[in-house]
Amino acid sequence: MAPSIRLSPAARSLFDQPLAIAVQGLGPRQQVTLRTSLRDETGELFQASARYQAGDDGELDLARCPALPGGSFSGLEPMGLLWALQPQKPFWRLVKRDVQSPFLLQLEVFEGHGERHGRLLAQAQHERAFLRDGVRRIPVREGRIRATLFLPPGEDTFPGIIDIHGLGRGLFEARASLLANHGFATLALAYYQFEDLPQEPKELHLEYFEEAVNYMLQHPQVKGPGVGLLGFSKGAELSLAMAAFLKNISAVASLNAPVAVTLIPLSYKDKIIPTVTLYEHKAKATNSKFLDYSDVIDDPFQAPGNQSRIPLEKGEAQFLFIVGQDDRLVKSEYYATEVCKLLQAQGKENFQILSYPGTGHCIDPPFFPLYPIGSHPVFHKQAVLGGELRAYSKAQVHAWSQIQAFFKKYLT
């Protein structure tokens, strides 16, 4: 019997779901190298490989066989060939712009464990999709709002979540589309550098975000009385500000948030919150040639930085702070801990912190590759974002399930 790759699900799976990988038809205890490849929408290549030995029966099941040393990872890691994907172009981030098309994953089995791959024994293709069958993608251009709404299948009402990204350009739909597969009506909201939104805003107005909240609550398929917010980095900062100043915010999941206003002042009605000061000279050199910027932000819990702090104690929402202990862009664990102390001092218990070791600034849904070095949004130099491959892959999976459980608890 010729070797063949067996996948479950066979042809197509959702990007955030596990994929079972096995090889059959090998020789007893045959040594092979497995390689996965994926090209992003710009054509950039991501690859991972691992060395294995088949069982006495010529079967190789990644759920039971550990990877041997010498590849992208070792040990029993059934999803290692996905979470260990790394760009061939240094410091390149895997981004999904068109969620209506899947990523195409290539799997190959090569003979032996050499530095150069041996003979190709088997290959397969698999689609990693972002939309479950029946999920509707609806562009939203209402009033000032520039967004995309994802609705789960059916005519029911669903808990509503607004998903706000960090300081990347444009509209990011990947996380919102994946959440909709799990039963949430999710609005991916752009706030600058998209269509007719400001390119370089001098100020961000909370009224814009309030319009998005009202849009969701007026939608016939969004279950009230409040909405949830899921924000990353600058988007998490904005989500916290929305919870402090706006009505009808029930739950906020914050991924590595500054708890003070950064980079762009924030206004609501007649109030303006100024930005916290950044001190570039406080950037630290690392043993790589990249800088660690985690200390450049003025401490929002000490004067004079505290006029920029978001007054979270005014918020009535439930807060879930998800922080990477190795975040080198924002001192997110310190911020979350200090802000929860303030809430506790006011007799509040509306918060929880999930803190992940070996996890940096970027916390994406499961199986997105680690992105440990990126451009600093202000200083435009390559910055250490932090994170370590295996620890981060575990954090992604755990945090993603916790985010869903949190919203199910507080939005239904």
pLDDT number for residue 168: 82
Structure tokens at 324: 């990477």
Class in CATH terms, 4-129? mainly beta
Q: What is the rounded CA–CA span in Å between residue 211 and residue 220? A: 16
Burial of 275 by CB count in 10 Å (0-12 exposed, 13-18 middle, 19+ buried)? middle
Phi, psi of 241 (to 5 degrees): -65, -40
| Residue ranges covered by each domain of the chain | 4-129, 136-411
pLDDT in tens, the chain (412 residues): 899 999 999 999 999 999 999 999 999 999 999 999 999 999 999 999 999 999 999 999 999 999 999 999 999 999 999 999 999 999 999 999 999 999 999 999 999 998 888 999 999 999 999 999 999 999 999 999 999 999 999 999 999 999 999 988 899 999 999 999 999 999 999 999 999 999 999 999 999 999 999 999 999 999 999 999 999 999 999 999 999 999 999 999 999 999 999 999 999 999 999 999 999 899 998 877 899 999 999 999 987 778 999 999 999 999 999 999 999 999 999 999 999 999 999 999 999 999 999 999 999 999 999 999 998 888 888 899 999 999 999 999 999 999 999 999 999 8
pLDDT tens digits, 120-171 = 999 999 999 999 999 999 999 999 999 999 999 999 999 999 999 998 889 9
Residues designated catalytic: 233, 327, 361
Tokens of 87: 């760009």
Instruction: Answer whether 4-129 and 136-411 agree in fold.
Output: no
The Cα–Cα gap between 242 and 233 comes to 14
Fold of 136-411: Rossmann fold (3.40.50)
Strand ranges in 95-153 using DSSP code E only, listed in sequence order = 103-111, 120-129, 136-142, 145-151
